Every structure is written in structure tokens, then in C-alpha cells.
Amino acid sequence: MASKTVTLLDAGEGRLAALAPYSDDFVRLMRAIPSSRWNPKSIRWEFPAEGGRIFRHVFASWTILCSDAATTMQASGTAATAPSLPPNIATSLSEAFRAMKYSRRTADRYIAIAERYARFLDVPLVESGAQDATRFLASMERELDSSASTINQAISALRFLYSRVLGREVPLTKRPKADRRLPGVLSREEAMRVVSAPRNLKHRALLVLAYSAGLRVSEIAALRVTDVDPGRGVILVRCGKGRKDRYTILAARTRLLLETYTDLYKPQEWLFEGQKGGHLSTRSIQEVFGRAKEKAGITKTVSIHSLRHSFATHLLEDGTDIRYIQELLGHANAKTTQIYTHVAKKDFLRIRSPYDRNERP
């Protein structure tokens, strides 16, 4: 029997469209891809380009045709190549992610780990066990010099694979102690230079929101016009990390900037709309930060997430109770917020180096 064919097109704003003759099988497979949705205007299924790896496995038995415009899909390895996971396992894994409401990013990372594990094995995946998993984790540390956090994520991915898809548990309970790395933080002057760098009002507004409200890039992208409450001076963050809603502060200066922005751009549903519908992609927002950082002359290694780190650090330096900072950031565990006590310089300013106290050079 000839294999079925699905065609991929560039849908714009970091999304791809999948076209194929209607069938229950096609709809079932598309629904297994996290964040996929039917676009009634374009009459096609669309999904984030970052989900390309999952798409390739879900449609492993199909012939996948990529248009020349779908460059992001081809770059992420979604051409019709032999999969490293059996098609039935890949489909079951994707459906399990969707059933458990895992984020697309987590699902994509788990798929990548499962792929690597399947290539590592010298036995079929269904016949593998705890010893194979342990050897795989050891190889990650030995050959790839993986960090503790990467190995911890691999353990979680393998446990999910065995328990949710293969139907059995593996005794992977011991985890390496996590690396203790300090977040990259901008000084107040550096942060203001970055957020003031864009001449484009829309770009400046989203960077100001990241710093003044401590938002993640995914939270900025998903903001709706109705989430901003100028009267109460708060912003509603819907389904942040861990699928939790929370409120964060709307600075007075940010409110004035957003009023100017909305009067000019007149967004309808999403606060920051994409050029071809939907909201602005996280990749586009990251690119805006990269250009602003370069224009501001910042040479240290930081990302747009560093604006969130800087928000928390500067609040702590101003004497804000760490419990309030935890609430604003949406941290479930106070220990996560306490990392900022190691980068805040409030108490450091009171310390004088013994070298400065010595009168002789």
C-alpha cells in the first residue's frame, strides 16, 4: 500500500501548516502534536515550528513534503528520514504528552532524549530496562559531559517513556545534585539601556514589560489585551509555568507606554500580535532582545530571561520581601527565589575590602 502524503507550508510567525486530504487518521495524528490547532480561515492545521521533531515522529509512516518556504521545519530535521523511534511508540508518546497537558517545549525535549536513547540501545526499545537506562545516563556524563540538570531531565524523560508508553516502571530514583549556577543579571543602568534601545514602539513595549513585570518570554507572547488592568495596576499572567495563573505588577510608566502603544497599534485579542494573525512568537521576541542588547552595547552573556532575573534582583536590593518576589515571579518553591540573594548586592555595599583599608599599596 502506498504511503500517505502530508505537505508542510510556512504559516508565518514561527508556525507551520500541514495539508493532507481529510481522514480520521490525519486528524488524530495532528491532535497528537502539542499546540496544534485547526485554522478555519486558512482551512488547514497549524502548529509551532519548534514542534517539528514531534511532527516527524508522529507522521513517521507518511511521506512528508516540505515547501521551499518551510525552512524552519527542514532545519529542525523534519524531512522524510528514517525515525529512531518506532512509529507506534512515537505516536503513543506524543498522545501521552497531550493527555498530560505537557508544554510543547517539555514534550520536544523529552522526544529528543527518547530519540537519543533509542539510538544508543543495542536491543529493541521494548526489550530495554533499568540497566540500559543507567548505561545511557552514564554515557551522557562521560561522553557529552552533560550537566546535572540535563541528566535530571533525561531521568524524567526516561521514567515518562517507560511508565506512560511502555507500561512499566524503571528504578531511576537517584538523581545527581543540581549545579548551582547564578543567573545572569543586568545592572539597572544596563537594563534601562536595553529596554530603551528599540525605536519601534511595539518592541520597546514588550521589553519594558519583561523587565518591569518580571515576565517570561512565553508569558509576554501569550498576553491578551484584557490581561492588563490599568485600574488595579496589575497584569494577569494566564497559565504560566506549571499551568498556574498569577498577578504581577503593572508599573505606572509601563501603563503609560502601553496606552500609547495600544492607541497606535490597536491590538484586538493578543497584546502583541503577529503579522499573519495570532500572537507574536517567542522566537521573534528573543530576536528583538538580541538586537536591543547589541544596540545598547551590552557584551555580557545574557538573554531576554535576564530581564526577569534583573527585575527580581533589583526588587531584592530595594528591600522588597522575598515572599512577595516569589509571588510575583510565580515560583512554587521559595528556594527558587532565594537564588537572587546570591546576586543582589544590597549587603555587599556595606562590606569594605581589607585591601582598601590598607594605606600602603
* Catalytically annotated residues: 216, 241, 305, 308, 331, 340
Residues 6+ apart with CB under 8 A from 342: 182
Alpha helix ranges (H) inside the chain: 24-31, 52-58, 71-75, 87-99, 104-120, 130-144, 148-160, 188-196, 201-213, 217-221, 252-265, 282-295, 305-317, 322-329, 334-337, 354-357
Backbone φ and ψ for 17, nearest 5 degrees, come out as -115, 140
Strand bridging mode 15-19 / 37-39? unpaired
Q: In angstroms, how far apart are the furthest CA atoms of the chain?
A: 89
DSSP designation for 349:
G
> What is the Cα Rg of the chain in Å?
23
CB–CB of 87/60 below 8 Å? Answer: yes
Is 309 exposed, middle or buried (CB count within 10 Å of its CB: 0-12, 13-18, 19+)?
buried
